[in-house]
Amino acid sequence: MRSGGRDDADVIVVGAGPAGSSTAHWCASAGLDVLLLDKASFPRDKVCGDGLTPRAVGELARMGVGTRQEDGWIRNEGLRVVAGARSWELPWPDLDSFPGYGMARSRMSLDHRLAQHAQASGAKLLERTKVTRPLLDERDGRVVGVRAQALDAQGRADGAETVYRAPVVVAADGVSSRFATALGNTRRDDRPLGTAVRTYFRTSSDDGATSRHEDAWMESHLELWDGASGASNLLPGYGWIFALGDGTANVGLGAVSSTPARQSATGHDYRAMLQAWLRNTPPEWGFTAENQVGPVRGAALPMGFNRSPLYADGAVLVGDAAGMVSPFNGEGIAYALQAGRVAADAIAQARTRATDDARERTLGSYADRMRADLGGYYTLGRWFVRLIEHPQIMRICVRHGLPRPVVMRFVLKLLSDCYEPRGGDWVDRVIAGLTRVVPAA
């Protein structure tokens, strides 16, 4: 873990989203000097569904993040799955490993809150600081820091580049991860890739419109039609409506392909697809241009560990930079928070080792732990994507599978990313058993 010069911190974290702020919090809580860098200034927006599964809520609880309703959080009871003319309300699973509720909060607010929490834990946050490239040891090419550029309020370079040194650098800079790319860690072509587009709507009004901003259920639409009658074209992907409790709802559409090449071949205009779906939602929901808050924005969803290695030569990848989004539901926040916790533990433990080899083995344990926990689950997710990426197959599964209670129990636990890894009911045991026998992602 040597850096070959005077260090500015024990660990540098690039990016202050959920993965970066989680890493910074846990490292600082372990007594490490942490430098957290983000090219934006907070609060700032990120494209997301804004929903938090019980798995994510459990990670926030571990961090000690307060989640009182009066502080801007809204709880939800489970998933409302809508397909055609039918819907099912599925309460979150009652498990020992996770809370029995989910939550929602806009990324504009959530990321700011998590960055503040990391600061309160002792991390030093530098906003409007763009990391331009890794700093490498001239002798062996090991990452020993970063080169960074201060930005003004308009995002333009402000002054000369600055060098920050640390024996470990954590890349938490999102799906594109320029830091990881600069190290030659390119995205894998054999992993699923999703696309999400979303916007916000005011849902409480005086004109009789149905208020959706306090809905107790996270709503997922598994069949999307481009015509009001339901007899026209079935659109690929799924839609969502997540209440935020502040007078608005996050409304979006997601689609996933088994490989980036397959996604490129489809050539879908997802913004147009979202508009086609919204035009045919009930008028009382109020999803109209007059009630829209902000533009439609889109982002890629890197899935199933689509970038590797997770650790090598002083560089750790967490969250979207490592492609940790779940192929089952497009959820990334829970795994970003988890990765930060596990990475921080490996980094803190490595500092107690007496030799370079021992420190490297300990840092490498981060990748081993993440793959042991999620590798098999992501493999199942890749197989799931290969099935449901075909709209007609998806329609058959929805029509003939969802009405069956046994299938519904499996669907709930897979779509919620919540099952007991050990113990639980027979559904938990089947899912856990499958994750252990399939090849790890």
pLDDT score recorded for residue 6: 85
Q: Which of 127-136, 226-235, 390-399 has the lowest mean pLDDT?
A: 226-235
Q: Say if residue 371 is exposed, middle or buried (CB neighbours under 10 Å; 0-12, 13-18, 19+).
A: middle
pLDDT over threshold 50, residue 2: no
| The pTM of the whole model exceeds 0.75 | yes
Is the separation of the CB atoms in 339 and 318 below 8 Å?
Answer: yes
Predicted confidence at residue 183, as pLDDT, reads: 96
Q: How far is residue 50's CA from residue 388's CA, in Å, rounded to a whole number? A: 23
Q: Decide if pLDDT at 231 tops 60.
A: no
Of residues 411 and 296, the one with the higher pLDDT is 296
Q: What is the average pLDDT score of the chain?
A: 89
**Residue 210 binned pLDDT confidence (cut-offs 50, 70, 90):** low
Q: For position 276, what pLDDT does the model report?
A: 87
- Show contacts of 268-275: CB within 8 Å, 24+ apart: 268/236, 270/195, 270/196, 270/197, 270/237, 270/298, 271/197, 271/296, 271/298, 273/197, 273/224, 273/226, 273/235, 273/236, 273/237, 274/197, 274/198, 274/199, 274/239
Tens of pLDDT, residue by residue over 93-144, are 889 999 999 999 999 999 999 999 999 999 999 999 999 999 999 999 999 9
- Percent of the chain whose predicted confidence (pLDDT) is above 90: 63
Which residue shows structure tokens 């954590």? 170
Structure-block tokens of residue 53: 């599964």
- HSE-CB for 141 with a 13 A CA cutoff: 4
SS3 assignment, position 336: helix
Q: What pLDDT is attached to residue 359?
A: 96
pLDDT at 408 (0 to 100): 78
Which of 215-229, 271-285, 395-409 comes out lowest in average pLDDT? Answer: 395-409
What backbone torsions phi and psi does residue 57 show, to the nearest 5 degrees? -60, -40
Supply the pLDDT for residue 204.
66
pLDDT in tens, 396-434: 766 766 667 777 788 788 878 888 888 888 888 988 898
Query: How many CB atoms are located within 10 Å of the residue 26 CB?
Result: 25
Is residue 229 over pLDDT 60? no
Q: What is the DSSP letter of 50?
A: -
Longest alpha-carbon distance in the chain: 70
- The contacts found for 64-69 with CB under 8 angstroms, 24 or more apart, are 64/117, 65/113, 65/114, 65/117, 67/103, 69/245
**Mean pLDDT, residues 302-331 taken together:** 95
Rounded to whole angstroms, the Cα distance separating 387 from 390 reads: 7
Q: Which of 62-76, 194-208, 246-260 has the lowest mean pLDDT?
A: 194-208
Burial 230-245, CB ≥16 within 10 A → b, else e: eeeeebbbbbbbbbbb
Which residues share a beta bridge with 11? Answer: 34, 168
Instruction: Please tell me the predicted confidence (pLDDT) of residue 360.
Output: 97
- Tokens 């260090």 -> residue: 7
- The pLDDT of residue 339 is 98
Looking at residue 206, its pLDDT comes to 55
What would you report as the CA-atom Rg of the chain, rounded to the nearest whole angstrom?
A: 22
Sign of CA dihedral 363, 365, 368, 370: negative
Q: What is the mean pLDDT of residues 31-35?
A: 98
**Joined tokens for residue 320:** 């979207």
